[in-house]
Amino acid sequence: MTMSGTRSFALVSAFVGIGLLAQPQHADAFESPVGVWKTIDDETGEAKSLVKLYEKDGVLYGRIVKLFKDPDATCDACEGEDKGAPINGMVILWGLEENDGEWSGGKIFDPKKGKTYRAKLWLEGNELVVRGYAGPFYRTQTWRRAE
């Protein structure tokens, strides 16, 4: 390799190295579930709502910010003070903490059934896999990041 070829190689290597160092910082921004997600019904495949996931003191929460079919729906299956409350604006996910790229240890609430389940979620590309548990049984939905 000539002297100018060596310099060119060194320059290219430096730029590639800088690009590789910068890349993980950019990718980390997309590895967080924080943001707005379009919930997809696992039985019908239809979009149901938009849920905003947010983090407070290292704990993940989720609030319904838009219902697609019936924006004025109320939680008729809820008990106590939430009975008849608007579903739009309701916190349906709480108490999840991150551990090795998976958020777990919290709960997810199904306003249609009025039931609360253990929950965990994780990212797969631009999709969020959300799983609710009732004993040994579980149900999984895949949510898509809203644009």
Domain 33-145 class in CATH = mainly beta
Q: What is the CA radius of gyration of the chain?
A: 21
Is residue 5 classed as helix, strand or coil in its secondary structure?
A: helix
Q: Mind giving me the DSSP string for 84-96?
A: T-BSTT-EEEEEE
Q: Where are the domains of the chain?
A: 1-30, 33-145
pLDDT single digits (tens) 62-82: 999 999 999 999 999 999 999
User: Model confidence at 29, in pLDDT bands (50, 70, 90)?
Assistant: very low
Q: Which residues are CB-neighbours of 30 under 8 A, at least 6 positions away? A: 126
Which of 44, 40, 58 is CA-nearest to residue 144? 40
Q: What is the pTM of this model?
A: 0.77
